């Protein structure tokens, strides 16, 4: 899903940073701070030497975020999904998340989660998605046939209109996308007689957000360019801690 400025004459400034030695790609899209408020998009991607299901479980374990995700200070799961068909387990469906930016500045908001675990299904083998949305977002961007376990009698977020209006964020959509692929080293990288096939996964992160307060938007542009990269690097360090360095 993409959101575009209602003023087509204004073209966002595009910046692309590529760190080949870390296999990381980061893209930043910023609006003109003197113009109308527009959604901002931050993206980062990386290839990691781990199975997609292991990386997916790390992303879906939102309660552990305060221990490794930058700026995240507290996460409380307020609602769980029904059990999914493949793994027969529930996934976090609604969370209350607090973020801090130093100097005592902090915000708490509620997000709706949509967790799609990687399953051996045609067209989706080895692909996992975790999407979180908050604020003025019409709904998930993921295919609804994959989130039947998230469909309950309770519709929408539990936040009140007053709580939403008091938040500095007008909208926030975060999506983790994990795709698995087998990797076989070239002779010389492993056993020359029979190189071992390893699992690797492409991990991508996309953050789309827009502030209610114009001042927040202007201030954020000084630091937001590094947010996606910091989150991806923190995620890699977490994977090394839990799954071992490879």
pLDDT digits 0-9 by tens, 9-59:
333 322 322 333 344 555 544 444 444 567 889 999 999 999 999 999 999
Q: Are 116 and 126 in contact (CB under 8 A)?
A: no
d(CA 60, CA 109): 18
Q: What number of other Cβ atoms are within 10 A of residue 101's Cβ?
A: 13
Give every CB contact of residue 212 below 8 A, 6+ residues apart in sequence.
Answer: 165, 167, 168, 169, 170
Domain residues of the chain, as ranges?
Answer: 19-144+162-182+199-240
Query: Does 19-144+162-182+199-240 carry CATH code 3.30.530.20?
Result: yes
pLDDT digits 0-9 by tens, 92-142:
999 998 887 666 667 788 999 999 998 866 556 678 999 999 887 778 888
Residues in the chain: 246
pLDDT band at 144 (very low <50, low <70, confident <90, very high): confident
Mean pLDDT of 167-189: 78
The DSSP code for 157 is: -
Torsion of CA 156, 161, 166, 170, to 10 degrees: 50
The verdict on pTM exceeding 0.75 is no
């Amino acid at each position: 899903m993409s959101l575009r400025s209602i003023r087509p004459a204004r073209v966002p400034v595009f910046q692309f940073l590529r760190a080949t030695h870390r296999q990381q790609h980061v893209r930043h899209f910023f609006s003109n701070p003197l113009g109308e408020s527009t959604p901002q998009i931050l993206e980062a991607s990386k290839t990691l030497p781990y199975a997609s299901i292991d990386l997916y479980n790390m992303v879906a374990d939102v309660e552990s975020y305060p221990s490794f995700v930058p700026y995240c200070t507290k996460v409380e799961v307020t609602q769980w999904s029904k059990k999914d068909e493949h793994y027969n387990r529930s996934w976090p469906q609604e969370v209350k998340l607090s973020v801090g930016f130093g100097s005592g500045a902090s915000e708490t908001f509620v997000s709706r989660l949509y967790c799609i675990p990687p399953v051996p299904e045609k067209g989706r083998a080895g692909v996992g998605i975790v999407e979180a949305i908050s604020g003025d977002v019409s709904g998930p961007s993921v295919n609804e046939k994959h989130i039947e376990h998230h469909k309950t009698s309770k519709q929408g977020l539990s936040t009140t209109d007053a709580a939403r209006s008091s938040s500095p964020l007008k909208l926030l959509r975060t999506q983790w996308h994990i795709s698995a692929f087998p990797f076989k080293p070239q002779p010389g990288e492993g056993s020359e007689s029979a190189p071992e096939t390893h699992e690797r996964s492409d991990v991508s992160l996309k953050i789309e957000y827009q502030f209610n307060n114009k001042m927040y938007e202007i201030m954020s542009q000084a630091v937001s360019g590094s947010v996606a990269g910091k989150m991806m690097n923190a995620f890699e360090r977490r994977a090394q801690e839990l799954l071992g360095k490879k």
